[in-house]
Amino acid sequence: MRPLRFIMLGGFLGAGKTTTLARLASHYQAQGLKVALVTNDQAQDLVDTNFLRSRGFAVEEVAGACFCCRFDELVDKVRSLEAANRPDVLLAEPVGSCTDLVATVVQPLRDLYGHRFEVAPYAVLFKPSHGLKILKGESGGGFSPKAEYIFRKQLEEADAIVINRLDELTPKLTAELFELVERAFPTTPVLKMSAKTGEGFELFAAFLEQEGTFGRKILDIDYDIYAEGEAELGWLNAGFTVTATTPFALDDLLLELIERLRGSLSGEVAHLKAIGLGETSFAVANLIASAAAAELSMSCRNTTSEIELIVNARVATDPAQLESEVTQLVPAVCQKFGATAELCSLQSFRPGRPTPTHRYAKAKA
């Protein structure tokens, strides 16, 4: 049996992983290859899984903990996708607050399943909004030093660092970011890309095709700092059924919801996203930093009278505050659009300490 190409893409919360993976999936499909994806989260009800499925891709999710702590489940999900879809390429998106993935996922996959999987170089997306402040060492960047530790560790284990959102950066800022990243990680190749427009994407895709000594950067990492940094984030996944007698504009409702949440949450937003799934259309709104503006990553330009609404929030705040704001604001915003929201599922918490299934102290494979 031909080995399955396994491509995992890292990067902080809101860095652009799902957007990039959707682009990669279309890129491989255009070459006649079959693609499947695995998403990952600390809880159920993922915006990303629904978004990718709505785009027509085969997706499984590992929910409840990160890939490293649910390594066997990751392998099981890949197996079931293999059985159902016979993919040539498997794209995997880890949790955006997770690091040490080379030691806990890439190396075990290579060592234990090297006959089945051909693991691609491990690229990590760089998120300019938070990355600039963190690499410049500016205080008031929004996150605590422990959360910033995770951001840096994610970049340290990368085979390539990909500065994303090139479409939004001035040439001067791009040059500054490039220099900052190169100075901090002098031996790591740095690429530039816009996952949104596709600029720089071909080079990135070509990088992933490379073979050689990749996926071998084992981190020297303090799991106490890592766990405490992750636990500083409030996490919330919530699901609602929204119904109205008169159809409402889905894009507008989602944008207003995310914008109102931005105004009411006290901590720095790592990523706030909401998907509305109607019978014939869907849309997604996002906010990737408190200082950014809410935006539609997928718009439907349509009205609807019934949707399933999923909200995923990762914010440096108390999960109880998140829960209270989301459960109050969703019905209030829906009411403004003449709709009623019924809460169907709710999980809010601080992520627990990561305890990887495997951890390779030295690169073996």
Ligand X SMILES: Nc1nc2c(ncn2[C@@H]2O[C@H](COP(=O)(O)OP(=O)(O)OP(=O)(O)O)[C@@H](O)[C@H]2O)c(=O)[nH]1
What is the nearest approach in angstroms of ligand X to the Cβ of residue 3?
26
Report helix, strand or coil for 267: coil
Give the number of residues written for the chain. 365
Output the residue with the shortest Cβ distance to ligand X: 96
The mark string for 84-123 relative to ligand X (x by CB under 6 A, - otherwise) is ------------x---------------------------
Among 10, 14, 215, 278, binds ligand X (CB under 6 A): 14
Out of ligand X, Mg ion, none, which partner does residue 73 contact, by CB within 5 to 8 A per kind? none
Among 10, 35, 45, 48, binds ligand X (CB under 6 A): 48
Q: Give whole-number Cα distances, 262 to 51, 231, 256, in Å.
A: 22, 21, 10
Q: Give whole-number Cα distances, 290 to 82, 250, 360, in Å.
A: 40, 23, 37
13 binds ligand X (CB under 6 A): yes
Q: How far apart are CA 148 and CA 232, in angstroms?
A: 11
Output the residue with the shortest Cβ distance to Mg ion: 18
15 binds ligand X (CB under 6 A): yes
The mark string for 258-297 relative to ligand X (x by CB under 6 A, - otherwise) is -------------x--------------x-x------x-x
What is the nearest approach in angstroms of ligand X to the Cβ of residue 22?
8
The upper half-sphere exposure of residue 317, i.e. CA atoms within 13 Å in the direction of its Cβ, equals 24
What is the nearest approach in angstroms of ligand X to the Cβ of residue 51?
8
Q: Which is nearer to ligand X, 50 or 297 (CB)?
A: 297
Residue 52 is encoded by which pair of tokens?
């990718």
- Burial zone of 194 (CB within 10 Å; 0-12 exposed, 13-18 middle, 19+ buried): buried
- Burial zone of 188 (CB within 10 Å; 0-12 exposed, 13-18 middle, 19+ buried): middle
Q: Which is nearer to Mg ion, 48 or 230 (CB)?
A: 48
What is the nearest approach in angstroms of ligand X to the Cβ of residue 110?
24
Q: Of the ranges 9-17, 52-60, 274-282, 300-308, which one interacts with ligand X (CB under 6 A)?
A: 9-17
Q: At what angle do helices 17-30 and 201-209 cross, to 10 degrees?
A: 70
Q: How far apart are CA 99 and CA 153, in angstroms?
A: 6
Q: At what angle do helices 223-231 and 145-156 cross, to 10 degrees?
A: 120
Out of ligand X, Mg ion, none, which partner does residue 165 contact, by CB within 5 to 8 A per kind? ligand X
The mark string for 164-203 relative to ligand X (x by CB under 6 A, - otherwise) is xx-xx-------------------------xxx-------
What is the nearest approach in angstroms of Mg ion to the Cβ of residue 111?
27
Residue appearing with tokens 């994806």: 37
What is the nearest approach in angstroms of Mg ion to the Cβ of residue 128?
17
Could you tell me if 61 and 46 are in contact, meaning their C-beta atoms sit under 8 angstroms apart?
yes
Residue 73 is encoded by which pair of tokens?
């489940």
What is the nearest approach in angstroms of ligand X to the Cβ of residue 43?
13
Q: Which is nearer to ligand X, 23 or 359 (CB)?
A: 23
Could you tell me if 156 and 147 are in contact, meaning their C-beta atoms sit under 8 angstroms apart?
no
Footprint of Mg ion (CB under 5 A) = 17-18, 48
Q: How far apart are CA 254 and CA 118, in angstroms?
A: 39
Out of Mg ion, ligand X, none, which partner does residue 286 contact, by CB within 5 to 8 A per kind? ligand X
Question: Which residue type sits at 12?
Answer: F
Q: Note the residues at the interface with ligand X (CB under 6 A).
A: 11, 13-19, 48, 96, 164-165, 167-168, 194-196, 271, 286, 288, 295, 297
